[in-house]
Amino acid sequence: MHTSLWRIILRRCARHRALLFVLLAALAAPGCGHRRKNEAKGVAEPAVRVMRPETRTIVRVVGQPSFVEAYERTSIFPKVTAFIETWHVDIGDTVKKGQVLADLFAPEINEDYHTKKATVELDEQQVGLAEETVKVAEADVEAAQAHLDEAKAILDQYEAQVDRWDSEVKRLRRDVERKVIAPQILAESINQLKASTAERAAAKATIAKAKAELLSKRATVAQDKIAVAVAKATVDVATSDWKRTEAWVGYLKLYAPYDGVIVARNANTGDFVLPSTGDPTAYRGPYISAGGSAAPIYVVDRTDVVRVFVDIPEHDANFVRVGTKATVLAKAFRDQPILCTVTRTSWALNVTSRTLRAEIDLPNNGSEIPADLPKGTREDLAQVKLPKTDGQILPGMYAYGNVIIERPNALALPVAALSYSGDKTFVWSYENGKAVRTEIETGVSDGKWIEVTNHRRQSEANAQRNDGESTEQSASTGHSASTGHSGDHSEFATTQAKVDGGDGWAPFDGSERVIIGDVSILTDGAPVLLARKEGKAAE
């Protein structure tokens, strides 16, 4: 009885087994779908915090170990080959500009100098003699002129006599014809006329001779004047030669080029010294020439002003200018930083180290600001705050230089809000409830905050468009994408859009909303929820 009942029940259950499975699946489906939906919602919409770029003054300090150098360092080499006759100063001595440091001895130069000087004196006397000759010639010209004038006066006298006797002869001829007077009287008058005519001709010849003599004397004067000019030119040549020799004599004394301190001496009495080329101090000691075969007689340092060098990395080079604030710490001088400014920069970067040379000038303790420095340098030195001490800043001291870069009113974000991929920088922007990965450009940073300058949003549509353009470009040129040309075209198009100021790039204006916190859970273009009211983020 019981066995038959169970068989009936099993047969009926078998008929409805498929229906049972369908019912069980229908009952289970709503519960599973709800759970998956909740799980998907929790992953796709994470809670995030956002902030806007803040206007801040970003201060960045670029520091580097350095050393102190004299404002000027000069190596004193001999100009001539000579012996050291006397040396007057030793290392550590303070010298004044123009002070004699050593005397050299070269007898042949002195003898040549005296010879040239005597030649000049002789040539000057020749000039005097030539000038006297000109005076004599000019006197001769005056005498010749007087003689000519005298001859002209005599000619006038004879002209008058000829005219008188000619008139007399004509009158007597008429009287003779009328037989008023005897013919002998006419003959006598004719003789007088002939004599006066002859004398007149002689006077004319004398005048011609006097004119020739006058021309000769004048030519002599001109010749003598040329001789004077030649003599003077000879004096000029001899004087120039003498002055050149005098300059060589001047090289026999070694002078201090400026007020300073002797930091090296290689002078000994009787040393045979030779001229040398180059400035060995450019190699920062030990005061030996580039060839290593000659040392300077003296090395003089100008210590009323000293210099400190700081090499600025390439990334910060554009922010360092003349007048940028700086500090120098020279512990051997004083365990207290010196407030100062950058005095000058090299403007160009060193191609090897990729750094910009910045120089900081410091007035030495107890020294007045020199008046021979440029106006800008004097103004910079006036701003330096030296600590109170009796010590001096000595060249060669170890120093640590800091250059302070300030960027006031800069829009900045926390450094933690940035991410990097290759050579590009990104932030996550909050736009219309979604997280958007945005490429940006940055400026100076102080380690906590970083200046943000421009941002660029590359949407999916723009990305697809750029990819399509690059593919078409590759197809039109007959190159496949595998050759890398499509990628190059895309990069070129991106760069061109950036240079041309395309709508893909824009400067930060402070209205941008940037996601901060843990951004590792974000997906580009995925929706997000705001965890709290928007506001400034804590540092």
DSSP 364-394: PTTPPPPTTS-HHHHHHHHT-B--S-S----
d(CA 408, CA 526): 36
Domain stop point among 250, 276, 296: 250
d(CA 187, CA 170): 11
What is the chain's Cα-based Rg?
Answer: 55
Domain stop point among 250, 265, 288: 250
Residue 80 main-chain phi, psi, to 5 deg: -120, 160
Q: Is residue 323 part of a domain?
A: no
Instruction: Show the tokens assigned to 514.
Output: 């940037």
Q: Is residue 238 part of a domain?
A: yes
Domain stop point among 250, 285, 316: 250
Helix (H, G, I), strand (E, B) or coil at 83: strand
pLDDT digits (tens, 9 = 90+) for 301-315: 998 899 999 999 998
CATH code of the domain in which 488 resides? 2.40.420.20
Tell me, what's the pLDDT at 48?
A: 87
Q: Is residue 76 part of a domain?
A: no
Q: Is residue 336 part of a domain?
A: no
DSSP state of 527: B
Q: Which helix (H) or strand (E) holds 493?
A: helix 485-499
d(CA 360, CA 377): 10
d(CA 219, CA 224): 9
Tell me, what's the pLDDT at 137?
A: 85
Q: Is residue 279 part of a domain?
A: no
The end-to-end CA distance of the chain, in Å, is 85
Contacts of 284 (CB under 8 A, 6+ apart): none
Q: Give the residue ranges of the chain where pLDDT is below 70.
A: 1-44, 276-294, 457-504, 532-539
Q: Is residue 511 part of a domain?
A: yes
DSSP state of 315: G
Tell me, what's the pLDDT at 355?
A: 92
CATH code of the domain in which 183 resides? 1.10.287.620
Q: Which residue has the tokens 């801040």?
A: 56
Q: Taking the model in full, what pTM does it have?
A: 0.60
Q: How many residues does the chain have?
A: 539
Q: Of 157, 135, 159, 139, whose CA–CA distance to 147 is shortest?
A: 139
Position 386, amino acid: L
d(CA 84, CA 96): 21
pLDDT digits (tens, 9 = 90+) for 259-302: 999 998 888 898 888 886 444 443 444 565 555 556 788 999 99
Domain total in the chain: 2
Q: Is residue 346 part of a domain?
A: no
Residues 516, 537: contact at Cβ < 8 Å?
yes
Burial of 131 (0-12, 13-18, 19+ CB in 10 A): middle
Range of the domain at 498: 49-56+410-530
Q: Of 329, 420, 321, 436, whose CA–CA distance to 380 is shortest?
A: 321
Q: Is residue 475 part of a domain?
A: yes
d(CA 441, CA 430): 18
DSSP state of 17: H
Instruction: Show the tokens assigned to 197.
Output: 């005519």
Tell me, what's the pLDDT at 457?
A: 59
What pairs with residue 48 in β-bridges? 530
